[in-house]
Amino acid sequence: MSHNLDIQQFKADFFKALAHPLRIKILEILAQGDKSVNEILELLELEGSAVSQQLSILRSKNIVIGNKEGNRVIYSLRDPAIIELLSVAKKIFNNHLIDTITILDKVNEMKS
């Protein structure tokens, strides 16, 4: 029983670590390949402190890893399965969106 609770706690902590739009965006960027902080900043068009803070949280939860190369740190996803997770989340979002559009279409048909 405690093993199941451990897994549930891991999942809860894992999803908590993902529960921020900027962290999700960083993961989507890293899903396309390893990037330095400067490359992430350029793609996000943001200033450094917010991105560094979010990268630090992702690192502390072992979701991303940072490897020093010279004077820069290159970030990568610790587990490529995160790419699949983001893809599944997008599918769920799209299904939800399609359901919402279908309901709105039905409502609009009833009005006309």
**Per-residue pLDDT at 1 exceeds 80:** no
Do residues 17 and 63 share a domain? yes
Sign of CA dihedral 82, 62, 31, 51: positive
Helix (H, G, I), strand (E, B) or coil at 22: helix
pTM: 0.78
Do residues 12 and 65 share a domain? yes
Q: What is the mean pLDDT of residues 24-45?
A: 94
Q: Return the pLDDT at 31.
A: 95
Do residues 52 and 107 share a domain? no
Do residues 6 and 42 share a domain? yes
On whether the CB atoms of residues 82 and 63 are closer than 8 A, the answer is yes
Do residues 70 and 102 share a domain? no
Q: What is the mean pLDDT of residues 34-38?
A: 94
Do residues 42 and 97 share a domain? no
Q: What is the pLDDT of residues 46-82, one digit of tens each?
A: 777 889 999 999 999 999 999 999 999 999 999 999 9
Do residues 95 and 40 share a domain? no
Q: What is the pLDDT of residues 87-110, one digit of tens each?
A: 998 898 888 888 888 888 888 888
Q: Which domain, by its residues, includes 24?
A: 2-79
Do residues 95 and 75 share a domain? no
Q: Name the residue with higher pLDDT: 108 or 112.
A: 108
Do residues 110 and 97 share a domain? yes
Q: Return the pLDDT at 49.
A: 86
- Residue 10 CA from chain centroid, whole number: 16
Count structural domains, the chain. Answer: 2
Do residues 74 and 38 share a domain? yes
Q: Where are the alpha helices (DSSP H) in the chain?
A: 2-18, 21-31, 37-44, 48-60, 81-111
